[in-house]
Amino acid sequence: MVSYACRRHDHLKHIVLLLLLLSGCSSAPAETHSDPIPIAKPTTFAVPGWNLVFQDEFDDPETSTLLWNKVHLGTTAHGRLHHYLPEQVSIENGMLHLQTDNIPYKEFAYRSGAVTTQNRFEPLYGKFVIRAKLPEGKGMFPAIWLLPANNEAFPEIDIVEMIGQKPEELWHVAHVNETTNDNFVTTDYIGADWNIYTLDWSKENLIFSLNGVETFRTANISHTPMYVWMNVAVGGVWAETPDASTPTSTEMVVDYVRIYERDT
């Protein structure tokens, strides 16, 4: 079953963004927007009508270091309980792991992992294809999303986000500003399973797909280059507070990230 729904978005992500811009990432980003990093283009990953311009299969940690920033950041605003730490990010057996642990760090009850392509790869339009498993558990808030390269808080495109106590609800959200968004929730899939999340972002439209099946289409809201965020937040207004049923350790696992530009 697929159903439409509305929800109140947790705007803490934008506070996190502003803090990140002030504090920086664990790996210092370039001062200017970088050109796409040259990559091999295996025919097995070819998509008709598209050129592969960014790829991380997480088979080579050295390559991944060039593509991603590991986030070092924490805020208690809106009830958040985690601090992002670089050591919570790892690559093992060809997978990216964003680990969340109920181990205190300073005033935060949880340690968690997050990565971004900020100042490393910031495309204008494209097809984003990510294969990932999202963590279950009350209070967990995994997300894969895009933010503007010009450091504004909006627009924001959420390729997928989920709250851990409702793994059957996978959200796609297009945020025009703090109070205006277009969103869709599908209940056809389980976020804790392996799924392929796809966003086709063109000048005209945002088209979201899950496992090759279109789930949501809306008018495009962004005409500025954007970068990728992948993270697991803990707590907050929407995700709520973890309880005794929440695992003490969990993770988002990402198999690959592939980004294509339309063949002109």
Q: Which phi and psi angles does 157 have, rounded to 5°? A: -120, 115
Q: Please indicate whether residue 178 is annotated as part of the active site.
A: no
Q: Please indicate whether residue 156 is annotated as part of the active site.
A: yes
**Catalytic option among 57, 136, 156, 169:** 156
DSSP-based three-state secondary structure for 126 = strand
Kindly give the pairing relationship between strand 82-84 and strand 110-112.
parallel
Give the H/E segment covering residue 132.
strand 126-133
Buried b (16+ CB within 10 A) or exposed e, 8-31: ebbbbbbebbeebeeeebeeebee
d(CA 211, CA 129): 10
**Catalytic option among 57, 122, 161, 251:** 161
Task: Say if CB 136 and CB 223 are below 8 A apart.
Answer: no
| Number of neighbours of residue 88 by Cβ within 10 angstroms | 25
φ/ψ bin of 19: left (φ > 0), alpha (ψ from -120 to 50), beta (otherwise): alpha
d(CA 32, CA 211): 35
Active site residues: 156, 161
